[in-house]
Structure 1
Amino acid sequence: MLDQFKGQPTPTMEEVWSDLVDQETEVCLSIITGQKPLEAYDEYIANWKAAGGEQITAEVNEWWQSVQ
């Protein structure tokens, strides 16, 4: 699925996006190099949602509704 978000960063993106990207990079590299099992990705997703990802998703969905 293509990313259709073309708006300004949401308030939550401005707060936490760089941390979320850093966490993503860390967990993916750890899985690729065998330092963590593939199941670590599920834990990462739960942490991503709790650390602001769920709010970012809601904000982007709100933006999407406004441009339809």
Structure 2
Amino acid sequence: MGRGAAPNLDFTGLGGKCIDYGSGKVTVEPGQSKTFEVEMATPKDAARVRECQIGDVDVLEG
């Protein structure tokens, strides 16, 4: 059975300044990887984003 995770992402601009954030939930089977999309909280700022960095990852039980 897969395990759930909720990664928190920081969308950063020039100089590493955090412009926005986002989080998502995903279930991954043991030994596997998965690509998924995380929406920005404020998509209108997308043009200012230069990089996305993973912050905390919460493990979801159940």
TM-score, normalised to structure 2, is 0.29
Which one scores higher on RCO, CA 8 angstroms, separation ≥ 6?
A: 2
TM-score, normalised to structure 1, is 0.27
Q: Which of 1 and 2 has greater Rg? A: 1
Q: Which has the higher helix share?
A: 1
